[in-house]
Amino acid sequence: MISRRTARHSRIARGLPALALGLTALALAVPTSLPAAAAPGGPSAGSGEKATLAAAQEKTASGRQLTAAAEKAGLEVGNATMGWRERGTERAALQQRSGLLRYGAAARSSTSSFTPKGVLGVDISSYQGNFKWSTWTKKDKDFAYIKATEGTSYKNPYFKNQYKGAAKAGMIRGAYHFANPSGAAGYKQARYFVKNGGGWSADGHTLPGVLDIEYNPYGSTCYGVSKKSTVKWVTSFTKEYKKLTGKDAVIYTTLDWWKQCTGNSSKFAETNPLWVARYGTKTPGALPKGWKTATFWQYTSNPIDQDVFPGKSKALKKLAKEKD
């Protein structure tokens, strides 16, 4: 005859597998990472799953890790954006003045009420997802740049939708490539860029492609590449881009990075338009050696990256129409 104590122990033993299964299901249901909506540019409709998947695939392929600064700026592995470090600095300043600020939330900053003279525009990436262009055309934004690629393995999953959307909204638009000078050769990355959205045509609506070369979000500032080798890498990219498109690529950078990583080279000043990032001021400030003017200036990231072409609309259309 089975005692009451033995029967009770038997019932508990039979219930343990179900309990284990329940705990496993609960663990699987708890998210282990922040949603993509918390990343640069803030939340937007449908921006989560595709961007997160693309970043996860890139991480698996490369094994790279973000620096502490890049994590703080809200980046995902394999998907860095224009001015990511400048943006992180501006966010920190805004948080000090406004308290905790969720990414993408508008806040008063030194540039929030400042509108520079010229043709105004924005730049976006996959973090903005299915972007509502009409919101910004109503704010007199007439041009746009959209991230297309990074290295030779990342493609913006929203690029086609964003690029066509900008054109449909009546904006002059172009694409940019986030460079990895420690990865594939410059000419190979240029080919990848052109193949995946970075091309150019003399239609008056397409701006020249941009080489976004700036702070390394995955390691040392200059990607572990010497100044001389960095200049050679940029030369390889820009020559190939010109060969493929008939147009000189725009170079996006900051004065600080350019000095540190190219030795303040003036090699490209006569051929390639310059795009500088500088926040919290009312001018683009000092420029890298050789350039007399900045063709584009990214002057704030609040609430998204905003830019200016310091000329008239006719001159911007000329940039989108004439071969170099």
Catalytic residues: 123, 212, 214
Q: For 10, phi and psi rounded to 5 degrees?
A: -65, -40
Rounded CA separation 15/276 (Å): 65
User: Token digits for 160?
Assistant: 């086609």
Rounded to the nearest 10 degrees, the angle between the axes of helix 255-262 and helix 227-245 is 110
Token pair belonging to 155: 């493609």
The DSSP letter of residue 243 is: H
- Per residue, the 3-state secondary structure of 172-223, as one string, reads EEEEEEECCCCCCCHHHHHHHHHHHHHCCCCCCCECCCEEECCCCCCCCCCC
The span from the CA of 163 to the CA of 219, in Å, is 31
Mapping DSSP to helix (H, G, I), strand (E, B) and coil, where does residue 122 land?
strand
d(C-alpha 187, C-alpha 124), whole Å: 24
C-alpha dist (Å) from residue 242 to 15, 155, 190, 192, 194: 70, 21, 9, 14, 11
